[in-house]
Amino acid sequence: MKLARRERYFVSGAALFLAVFFIFQFLISPFFDARRRVGRGVSAKQDGLEEIVKLSSEYNRYRKGSQGIKQILAERKKGFTLFSFLEKEARDAGVKNSIKYMKPSVSAGSGPHKESLVEMKLEAITLKQLSGYLWRIESTENAVSIKRISVKENKKKAGRIDAILQVLTFQ
């Protein structure tokens, strides 16, 4: 069976079209799909690596902070107790007579050190007395800090305040 010239061109064009279609469908398209998939995988791995680097630097910062606390605790006076420290500083600041109560407690904490906590209530003191006392007790050399403070106006004496403090240190 002989085909006319025009029919041969038509069949050749159709065969060429099918060849290009199959080459694109089975060679080129899968190549670009795989390349896109690998690119997404690399991007996800880079994000994971960045997260690991961030967590590593955060861990190192916490570890250095822990070493600093260990050094501070080692340099602190032997026999240091938070309760007696707060009592002494209250006497020196002139607010000892305003102490309503002091409740000590010790907890394991989330790190290698035990937390020593004292909750105390100061009644009918001035703002100046409170700020002076806070300045005295919050010290880096003894690793003492204020965990929580609640201040409200004293109802009985005008110009006076009541304060509840939670003071924290490590052992």
Same domain, 17 and 38: yes
Token representation of residue 44: 């996800």
**What pLDDT shows up at residue 74?**
78
Same domain, 93 and 153: yes
Question: How much is the average pLDDT of 46-74?
Answer: 85
pTM score: 0.60
Same domain, 48 and 11: yes
Q: What is the pLDDT of residues 125-167, one digit of tens each?
A: 999 999 999 999 987 788 899 999 999 999 999 999 999 999 9
Same domain, 159 and 102: yes
Same domain, 116 and 63: no
* CATH number (domain holding residue 161): 3.30.70.60
The whole domain housing 1 covers 1-75
Structural domain ending residue among the three candidates 23, 53, 75:
75
Same domain, 94 and 165: yes
Same domain, 6 and 71: yes
List b or e across 69-95, with b for residues whose CB sees 16 or more CB atoms inside 10 angstroms. Answer: beebeeebeeeeebeebbbebbeebeb
Same domain, 86 and 160: yes
Contacts of 93 by beta carbon, 8 Å cutoff, 6+ apart: 129, 132, 133, 136
Q: What is the pLDDT of residues 114-134, one digit of tens each?
A: 889 999 999 999 999 999 999
Question: How much is the average pLDDT of 54-63?
Answer: 88
Same domain, 2 and 47: yes
d(CA 129, CA 29): 78
Q: How many structural domains does the chain have?
A: 2
Rg (CA), the chain: 37
**What is the helix (H) or strand (E) element at residue 120, kind and residue range?**
strand 115-125
**What pLDDT shows up at residue 110?**
66
Same domain, 97 and 49: no
Structural domain ending residue among the three candidates 75, 93, 112:
75
Residue 41 has pLDDT above 70, yes or no: yes
List b or e across 36-52, with b for residues whose CB sees 16 or more CB atoms inside 10 angstroms. Answer: eeeeeeeeeeeeeeeee
**What is the helix (H) or strand (E) element at residue 150, kind and residue range?**
strand 145-153
By the 8 A CB rule, do 149 and 51 touch? no
**What pLDDT shows up at residue 1?**
74
Structural domain ending residue among the three candidates 49, 75, 101:
75
Strand ranges of the sheet holding 145-153, from the earlier edge strand across to the other edge: 99-107, 115-125, 161-170, 145-153
Same domain, 88 and 66: no
